[in-house]
Amino acid sequence: MRLPISIDAHRGALRLILASLAVAMLFAACGAPGGGGDGPGPGITGSTGAVKVAVLLPITASGSTPAVAKALKQAAELALFDFDNPNVTLIPKDTKGSPEGARLAAESALRDGAELIIGPLFAQEVSGAAPVARQGGVPMIAFSSDEKVAGNGVYLLSFQPGRDVPRIVSFAMSRGKRNFAELVPQSAYGRLAETAFARVVSSGGGQAAVRATFPPDDSNAMLGPVRQVASAIKSGQAIDALFLPAGRDELPSLAPLLASEELSSARVQFIGTGQWDYPNIGGDRALLGGWYPAPDPKGWSNFVQRYSKTYGAAPPRIASLAYDAVSLAVSLSQNAPGQRYTMSQLTRPSGFTGVDGLFRLLSDGTCERGLAILEVREGGPQVIDPAPSSFATASSY
């Protein structure tokens, strides 16, 4: 699950949404769904429950977006099916992938009596639908990762960039890593991750004396910054960890350069972000032994099995967000009318638990997650520090 800032500022960035995810979290701590059966059929849109929840998705948008929208819709239906006699009916609405389409979809949802809106997917759609939802007093749980559209009744269930940095840095410092080097991509995501990194290092009493940046889309220009960091480490400068907030687009090019400069976690501990959480990261041997924060992979693996059994294909990584959003909606639907989806219910301090573990929605509309620490290994990433079981014990967040 990974994702840079403004991943949905335009349609072409959809690939980043799918890669990051980073993705998801919720079943609701107050009630986990019951399993059973072979799952819903492709045409199921909900139960006959009294509580109406709208699902706004770009079903007829251009490009590859409709396929993603279909997967999100199916994941939402699967969540509804997994509960025993849910009190919720899902109302799918097509945003057409545009602000105006999202506005019209939200208006239709309110006319149909929706008490909660799940979606939309892109930031521009959220901006189109949000004023309608606010005027109607209906909260929205959206999938965008652009924090600019959060707040005032809009909650983002996505993996927001930079929010995982405190987890990995705090863990590294707990393992005695105090002196850091940075190798940061020259991108919006890199700047955001570096800001979060500087804040947590400073508050923890550490230091980052070596810093280099690289253009993420020019592999030929990466060698100079890599050599800059390597030279500082080889010179005997006190550096015991290298912060590398890059992802699947940059790491395959960076890894051979790091290896050529004899840099690995055996020499200086590599630490990454959720951008590292992609298939086959262990294929780059230079990254073996590196640490990064991510949800415990067991939750996603179990979800993929259920989804694949039901729909005959594996889901995109982002699908867990829709599943968890509906799970949350169902878990709170037992409350009295008017008290189901209030801010106090949606932002309860204990949070919820879902496909990707512990999470809670915050009053500013962003999402806080309880993450594990994984280590890159040849046979696949391994959890070396488990995700917290409650926010009360999550001291590193």
Give residue-wise pLDDT tens across range 68-78: 999 999 999 99
In Å, how far from its chain's centre is CA 120? 15
Task: Count the helix, strand and coil residues of the chain and give each as a percent rounded to the nearest 5.
Answer: 40, 15, 45
- Domain assignment present for residue 220? The answer is yes
- Domain assignment present for residue 392? The answer is no
Q: Residue 210: phi, psi to the nearest 5?
A: -120, 130
Both structure tokens of 158: 């996505």
Q: What does the pLDDT read at residue 33?
A: 36
Q: Is 41 buried (19+), middle (13-18) or exposed (0-12) by CB count in 10 A?
A: exposed
Residue with tokens 């912060």: 243
Pair (79, 52) in one structural domain:
yes
pTM exceeds 0.75: yes
Pair (241, 344) in one structural domain:
no
140, 130 contact by CB (below 8 A): yes
Q: What does the pLDDT read at residue 83?
A: 84
Q: What does the pLDDT read at residue 392?
A: 83
Pair (18, 140) in one structural domain:
yes
User: Distance between CA 178 and CA 166 in Å, rounded?
Assistant: 14
Pair (189, 238) in one structural domain:
yes
Q: Low-confidence residues of the chain, pLDDT below 50?
A: 1-39, 41-44, 46, 396-397
- Domain assignment present for residue 140? The answer is yes
Pair (67, 116) in one structural domain:
yes
Q: What does the pLDDT read at residue 48?
A: 60
Amino acid, res. 229: V
- Domain assignment present for residue 281? The answer is no
Q: What does the pLDDT read at residue 298?
A: 94
Pair (156, 209) in one structural domain:
no
Amino acid, res. 352: F
Pair (133, 184) in one structural domain:
no
Pair (148, 66) in one structural domain:
yes
Pair (132, 195) in one structural domain:
no
What DSSP element (H or E) covers 346? helix 343-346
Domain count, the chain: 2
Pair (217, 100) in one structural domain:
no
- Domain assignment present for residue 348? The answer is yes
Q: Are strands 352-354 and 291-294 parallel, antiparallel or unpaired?
A: unpaired
Pair (21, 117) in one structural domain:
yes
Q: What does the pLDDT read at residue 329?
A: 94
User: Distance between CA 202 and CA 179 in Å, rounded?
Assistant: 11
- Domain assignment present for residue 309? The answer is yes
- Domain assignment present for residue 197? The answer is yes
User: Distance between CA 159 and CA 181 in Å, rounded?
Assistant: 25
Domain that includes residue 255, residue range: 165-272
CATH classification of the domain holding 344? 3.40.50.2300
Backbone CA torsion sign across 160, 161, 162, 168: positive
Q: What does the pLDDT read at residue 395?
A: 53
Q: What does the pLDDT read at residue 393?
A: 74
DSSP count for the chain of H helices, then E strands: 11, 15
Pair (227, 140) in one structural domain:
no
- Domain assignment present for residue 395? The answer is no
Q: Residue 358 in 3-state DSSP?
A: strand
Angle between helices 65-82 and 319-332 (to 10 degrees): 40
